[in-house]
Amino acid sequence: AQSVSQHNHHVILSEAASLELGCNYSYGGTVNLFWYVQYPGQHLQLLLKYFSGDPLVKGIKGFEAEFIKSKFSFNLRKPSVQWSDTAEYFCAVNVKNNAGNMLTFGGGTRLMVKP
């Protein structure tokens, strides 16, 4: 079974700092990769996704992620964070097979941006 690891459980940054959240997955086959965000009091929203093609994907709100197949990684980045980026971030994977599109999530990273 696949698993997803997010290395940082809590991250605290000042505004304008750069952000990189790590995500590694374990599965040898073809996967779809996602980053979701959960702002305080709101529901999960898709930040960006990778299905195929250019491994550098751009999402909403200035976020991007790079798929490195050899490292089984899909790290999330943002050059300059804002206070409004305070949220919990989840990396997720689904496997391209007949088992459906169930998502396997990482444990989440709580990001706090200090104004």
| Six token digits for residue 50 | 């990778």
Which residues are registered as beta bridge partners of 10?
110
Determine the Cα–Cα distance for residues 111 and 48; give it in Å rounded to an integer: 17
Quick count: other Cβ atoms within 10 Å of Cβ 87? 20
Contact between 3 and other proteins by CB under 8 A: the answer reads: no
The residue among 47 and 81 lying less far from other proteins, judged by its C-beta, is 47
The residue among 80 and 97 lying less far from other proteins, judged by its C-beta, is 97
Contact between 40 and other proteins by CB under 8 A: the answer reads: no
The residue among 65 and 92 lying less far from other proteins, judged by its C-beta, is 92
Contact between 17 and other proteins by CB under 8 A: the answer reads: no
The residue among 12 and 46 lying less far from other proteins, judged by its C-beta, is 46
| Six token digits for residue 90 | 């989840």
Burial 30-46 (b: 16+ CB within 10 A, else e): ebebbbbbeeeeeeeee
Contact between 52 and other proteins by CB under 8 A: the answer reads: no
Contact between 27 and other proteins by CB under 8 A: the answer reads: no
Of residues 64-103, those binding other proteins (CB under 8 A): 90, 92, 94, 96, 99-103
Residue 85: which H helix or E strand, with range?
none
CB of 16 to other proteins, least distance (A): 30
